Structures are given as structure tokens and as C-alpha cells.
Amino acid sequence: MSTRRKFIQQAAIGTAATLVPVPFFAKGSPAKKITVAVMGVRSRGYALATNYAQMPDTEVAYICDVDKEYLEKGLDAVEKLQGKRPKGEKDIRKVLEDKSIDALVIAAPDHWHAPAALLGVQAGKHVYVEKPCAHNPNEGEMLVAAEKKYGRIIQMGNQRRSWSKVVEGINELHAGIIGRVYFAKGWYTNNRASIGFGKEVPVPDKLDWDLWQGPAPRTAYHDNYHPYEWHWFRRWGTGEALNNGTHEIDVIRWGLDVDYPSKVVATGGRYHFRDDWQFPDTMVVNFEFDKGAAASWESRSCNTYPIEGDSRGNIFFGEKGSMVIIGNNYSVYDNSPKPNLIKSVKEERSNATAVSNNTMSPDANLDGVHIKNFLDGIRDGKPVSSPVHEGFKSVLMCQLGNISWMTGRQLHIDPRNGHIMGDPEAMAHWSREYEPGWAPVV
């Protein structure tokens, strides 16, 4: 069996994927070029656009950004790599009118993710949407419904689902290498600076603030929103729990082989600085699952002391031992009084760990594997490694963590569908208000 086929099979084993997208090209036909539009290219989108531009038989045909400075930089970088300048456009709705575009890649702020992905599949495009796939639970459910309705791939950008050693480690867990697994841990650390107290200032000439806000209710422009710091405002962002928690909480859910928790409780606060930040910078979210398992995610946005020597990672604990997953590497220990290392599997390259304070692209090669998985899904109709109906279950766990923190109490969850039970105040966070005329529809 070829390595590629084996890899795709391994990747597929790791998910409960059932949706088989319609093959884009007839089986056996030669590889045909896939044309891509990338939305939002200052940081993550720049890394994605330049990565897509280097994929075989792939053309970045549009760059879409509402900020002229980042638009031009993205166009220049992609032109250099592929020898052809993409078209530039600030309004994603105009890009989607172009029938020659096969796929939309979304790396705009979080409040745009689900609305743009919905517009994308409605226009017949396959979608690669950065994590978190949705700003709130209702939007995530809309995406899952749209994936079914429109028969297009919606792949979420939680790239660990395509990393070979992580896939292998999770398969080993499921095969019982440490016996029954009953506890999982994930963590994230960084040394983020304060965002201060923003002031209302004129919108910079280079920026279309109305389009930037898109589906979100309108507000005046402040000097600490764009770029990047929108992550810490609830109107657009989702805090560290979704910004980075999505990665390790997804690995927790995958490793424990569970769909939804039955209890969620979060503690923490904005402790390190006093400023406009509207989420915790220090947070612990605990989950319980009906199968007899629990999990804990610890996050320190402003304190870098590592766990297991690394800024981010996962540990699984079972009857016979433990497994540590860091970057694209995993190690297995027995359960003796001083645990012995019984297996260590490492990515061949030395720089394969994901560095938490590189907020753009911790590892371009590892990003590339996930991008290739998406492109292969489009070409061959093979299930992708992170379809949104799986990705959203993990995003929902992060959203429930934020909702528990905002309401200050433990949430009881229906383990069949992830819904909050008996708590109307918590359920008020299930959706959001939209700017009139912008509410997304399936």
C-alpha cells in the first residue's frame, strides 16, 4: 500500500467521519488544477495563502482582504510563488460569484467564519475554515446542517487531525496501548502583552470597517481592535479557549473517543493585566463524560512556564500507563512507581513541535499536510480528516467552557447532542445578535 493511501486511511480511522463528499473529478482522471480564494491574509491567512500557492496543481486565484495593506502583501507573496498574480477583492460575496473558484479558505476573524463558510457552500465551493469553525454554538450547528445540505467539504483548520504521528498515537490509544483511558489533559501557555484601554479613533484609510464587521452589530472603531486583538473582544473573538484550546481540546475528545461531555465547569479570570480584554487569561476547564472519563484543559495566556517542557500539548492517563502528545510526537509510559518510557515516536524533522507563541504558523510543513488532505478530499472525494461535523463537537466543548465561565457555574449537558440542560441564562449564549440584514442562513 502506498504511503499516501496508508496515511489517508490512518487519518480517516481517527475520525467518526461518515460523510463522503461528492468526488470533484471522475475517478482515474489526471490531477486537475484546483482554484482557491483566500479570505483574510494578514497573519494566518498569509501563511495559508503561501502554502496553498505551493501545492501541486493548485492556484490561488483570489486574495480577499478588507485591509488594503494586507491585501497587497498577500497578492505580492502569492504572485512571487506561483508566477501569477491573483485577483484582489475586499468583498467576499463578489469573489464567490466567480464560478471558476473551487474552494474558499477562511482566515478572517472568528465572527466571519461560519457566515462566510455558509456563503461559500451555498455558492458551490468547498471550504477550509480556520478554527474555531463558529463564533457560537448555533452557528456551528448551522454549518453541520449546511455540510449535509450542500454536499460540499467543510474542513476545519485544526491541523493536528492530519499529523501522522498524532494520528498514529491516537490509533494506539484506541487500540489499548495504555488500557482503558479515563483522564486526559491539555494545556496552552504564552506571554501575551496587555491590549490596554482602547480609544475611539478614525478608521484608517486602508480599512473597510463596515465589511470587517460584516455579520457583527456595528460599533465605533477603536485603536486596539484590528489587527489581531479582536480575539479578546466577545463581539468578534472567542478568547483563548477557542483560539488555542480548540487544538488540544479536540485532541482530548479524539483520544477519549467521545462526542459530547455531560458536565462542564470553568474557572479563571483576567488576572495578569487590567485592560479591555473580555475573556480569562488564566483558565481551567474541566469536562466529565458519561462513559466514565474526565478531562482538564489549562491555559495561561500571560505566563509561559511549560508543562512537560513544552508550551502546549496533551497527556492521556489509562489503566496501564500514560501517553504524552507534543507537536507531531508521542511517548508512552507504563504505570510503574517511576513510569518507564516504553515507546517514543518522533516526527523525523527536528523542528516538529508547535511553538505556542508563533501565532501565524507554528510549522508550515505540518500545515501543508492538512491542506493537502483537504485538496485530496476535493480531488478524490475521500473523507477529510477534520470535517466540520466532527470539528464542531470540539469547538462546542470550548464554547461550553466559555459559557460556564461567563455564567460562573457548572453546566449540565445532554451527552446526546451537546445542548445545555435546565439553564436558560447559559442558553442565552447559544447564539448572538447580528447586524440587521447579515444573519446567516443555511
Ligand X SMILES: NC(=O)c1ccc[n+]([C@@H]2O[C@H](COP(=O)([O-])OP(=O)(O)OC[C@H]3O[C@@H](n4cnc5c(N)ncnc54)[C@H](O)[C@@H]3O)[C@@H](O)[C@H]2O)c1
Minimal distance in Å, beta carbon 48 to ligand X? 8
Is 51 among the residues that bind ligand X (CB under 6 A)? no
The answer to whether residue 39 forms part of the interface with ligand X (CB under 6 A) is yes
Segment interacting with ligand X (CB under 6 A) among 15-23, 106-114, 143-151, 308-316: 106-114
Q: How far is the CB of 25 from ligand X (least distance, A)?
A: 27
Helix (H) or strand (E) holding 323: strand 321-326
**Interface with ligand X, residue 64, by CB under 6 A:** yes
Candidates 7, 62, 112, 260: give the one binding ligand X (CB under 6 A).
112
Say whether residue 126 binds ligand X (CB under 6 A).
no
Q: Nearest CA to 238 among 389, 132, 159, 160? A: 132
Binding mask 152-181 for ligand X (x = CB under 6 A): -----x-x----------------------
Q: Which stretch binds ligand X (CB under 6 A): 49-57, 104-112, 134-142, 272-280?
A: 104-112
Amino acid letter, residue 131 = K
Q: Give 208: exposed, middle or buried? Use CB within 10 Å, 0-12, 13-18, 19+.
A: middle
Q: Which of residues 318-337 bind ligand X (CB under 6 A)?
A: none
What count of Cα atoms within 13 Å lies in the side-chain half-sphere of residue 122?
16
Smallest separation (angstroms) from ligand X to the CB of 263 = 27
Our CB check for ligand X shows the closer of 265 and 355 to be 355
Nearer to ligand X, 160 or 289 (CB): 160
In terms of DSSP H, where are the helices of 270-360?
none
Place of cell 449564549: 429
Residue 411: beta bridge partners? 264
**DSSP-assigned states of every residue in 190-234:** -BPPP-----B-PPPTTB-HHHHHTTSPP---BTTTTTTGGGGST
Q: Is the dihedral of CA 234, 226, 249, 285 positive or negative?
A: negative
- The correct pick among 17, 36, 37, 45 for binding ligand X (CB under 6 A) is 45
Which residue lies nearer to ligand X by CB, 111 or 393?
111
From 17, 21, 42, 259, residue interacting with ligand X (rule: CB under 6 A): 42
| Out of 23, 151, 227, 381, the residue judged to bind ligand X by CB under 6 A | 227
Q: Is 240 in the site for ligand X (CB under 6 A)?
A: no
Is residue 279 part of the contact set for ligand X (CB under 6 A)? Answer: no
Answer yes or no whether residue 70 interacts with ligand X by CB under 6 A: yes
Residue 133, C-alpha cell as written in the block: 469553525
Q: Binding to ligand X by residue 92, rule CB under 6 A?
A: yes
DSSP helix/strand/coil, 296: strand
The nearest distance, CB 418 to ligand X, in angstroms, is 21
- Cα–Cα nearest to 38, from 22, 26, 20, 55: 55
Our finding on whether 260 is near ligand X (CB under 6 A) is no
Which of 128, 287 has the CB closer to ligand X?
A: 128
Which one of residues 243, 286, 322, 329 is an interface residue with ligand X (CB under 6 A)?
243
Contact (Cβ atoms closer than 8 angstroms) between residue 255 and residue 330: no
According to CB under 6 A, which residues from 350 to 389 bind ligand X? 359
Residue 20, classed as helix, strand or coil, is: coil
Distances (CA, A) of 221 to 12, 77, 98, 115: 44, 29, 31, 21
C-alpha grid cell for residue 170?
491516537
| Binding test (CB under 6 A) with ligand X, winner from 17, 53, 75, 107 | 107
d(CA 367, CA 370): 5
Q: Up-side HSE of residue 170: CA atoms within 13 Å toward CB?
A: 28
Give the alpha-carbon dihedral of 392, 283, 199, 205, to 10 degrees: -30
Q: Of how many residues is the chain composed?
A: 442
Q: Is 147 in the site for ligand X (CB under 6 A)?
A: no
**Among the residue ranges 36-44, 373-381, 399-407, 412-420, the one whose residues contact ligand X (CB under 6 A):** 36-44
C-alpha cell at 366: 505540518
For ligand X, the closer of residues 52 and 112 by Cβ is 112
Do strands 181-189 and 154-156 pair parallel, antiparallel, or not at all (unpaired)? unpaired
**65 touching ligand X, by CB under 6 A:** yes
Nearer to ligand X, 211 or 294 (CB): 211
Nearer to ligand X, 14 or 214 (CB): 214
Residue nearest to ligand X (CB): 40
Question: Counting contacts by CB under 6 A, is residue 41 touching ligand X?
Answer: yes
Residue ranges binding ligand X (CB under 6 A): 39-45, 64-67, 70, 92, 107-110, 112, 130-131, 157, 159, 211-212, 214, 227-228, 243, 359
